[in-house]
Amino acid sequence: MNSFSFKEYRKIFYYYKSNLKLLNFNEVNKNSNNFFILRHDVEFSIERAFDLALFEKRKLNAKSNFFFQLKNNSYNLLSYENIKMVNEIIKMGHGVGLHFNYKGPKNKKSIISELNKQKKIFFSNFKKAINFFSPHRPSKNRFLLNLNLPNFKNTYLNLYFTPYEKAINNANKTLYLVDSRHKWKFIHPFNVDLKKHRKIQLVFHPDAWTKKGYNLKKNYSNLKKEKNIIFKETLFNETDYIK
């Protein structure tokens, strides 16, 4: 079984599904004591997010949550084709939310202003988006962890998140696991004792996951090839470029 393959993803999913109840963010409350949440932060490829969403629907009968960036240098979320793909993910039954990418002044007023702007644009294009956002790299700006708006909740609220070093020794806290930069940042999901830890947020980056599964170098090499194909198709459709 290759790491970061759909086969490994399936095994992770069923390990958690056999021990815990799969919930969406809006189903979790202060009385929830048995759940796991599936969250996907999309950094580089909407196409790969779509493939994983389809796999979850067809092979796992699962509903998860995909968060997309508005300000991203690797994809244009608001292109006609990408809007169509994201709306298809919504039709599959998955939640779609904003992956808030912020690089402005590190003060509360500026961050809230930018979040409101991005929220307005996001919901104007995706009417059925969920009222949740996930900050991009919140460790670089700690205020992002506690940022919240009325009717627009942060996936790092205490209900859904506790820093790993605090949660791993406290079964009452929600354990946060993330596959950061093509490796598991804290601990592999298989190594968590689910008889002890009953509240989990699993965070995946779909850019890392493929049907076959690859190591870091091969994965990014293939990702570049996929992006190149898309760019060539765009050139072909918009210019006199010959394939």
pLDDT tens digit at each of 243 positions of the chain: 689 999 999 999 999 999 999 999 999 999 999 999 999 999 999 999 999 999 999 999 999 999 999 999 999 999 999 999 999 999 999 999 999 999 888 888 999 999 999 999 999 999 999 999 999 988 777 788 888 888 899 999 999 999 999 999 999 999 999 999 899 999 999 999 999 999 999 999 999 999 999 999 999 999 999 999 888 888 888 887 666
Q: How confident is the model at residue 26, as a pLDDT?
A: 92
Classify residue 173: in a domain, yes or no. yes
Question: What's the CA gap between 67 and 45, in Å, rounded?
Answer: 12
Note the pLDDT of residue 6: 97
Q: Which domain holds residue 109?
A: 6-21+32-217
First-to-final CA distance of the chain: 36
Q: Does residue 98 fall inside a structural domain? A: yes
* Domain membership flag for residue 240: no
Euclidean distance between CA atoms 214 and 140, whole angstroms = 28
- The per-residue pLDDT for 79 is 95
- What confidence score (pLDDT) does residue 241 get? 66
At residue 177, the 3 state secondary structure works out as strand
Task: Identify whether 89 is part of a domain.
Answer: yes
CATH number of the domain to which 71 belongs: 3.20.20
What phi and psi, each to the nearest 5 degrees, are found at residue 97?
-140, 180
CA distance 20 to 34: 6
For the chain, how many structural domains are there in total?
1
Q: What pLDDT, on a 0 to 100 scale, did the predictor assign at position 142?
A: 76
Contact by Cβ (8 Å): 112, 147 = yes
Residue with tokens 């093509």: 182
Q: Is 199 helix (H, G, I), strand (E, B) or coil?
A: strand
Q: Are 78 and 120 in contact (CB under 8 A)?
A: no
Is the whole-model pTM more than 0.75?
Answer: yes
Vertex 6, ends 195 and 92: CA angle to 5°? Answer: 90
pLDDT of residue 213: 93
Residue 26 placed within a domain: no
Residue 56 lies in a domain: yes
Residue reference for tokens 């950061």: 180
Residue 41 covered by a domain: yes
Q: Are 135 and 154 in contact (CB under 8 A)?
A: yes
Is 115 part of any domain? yes
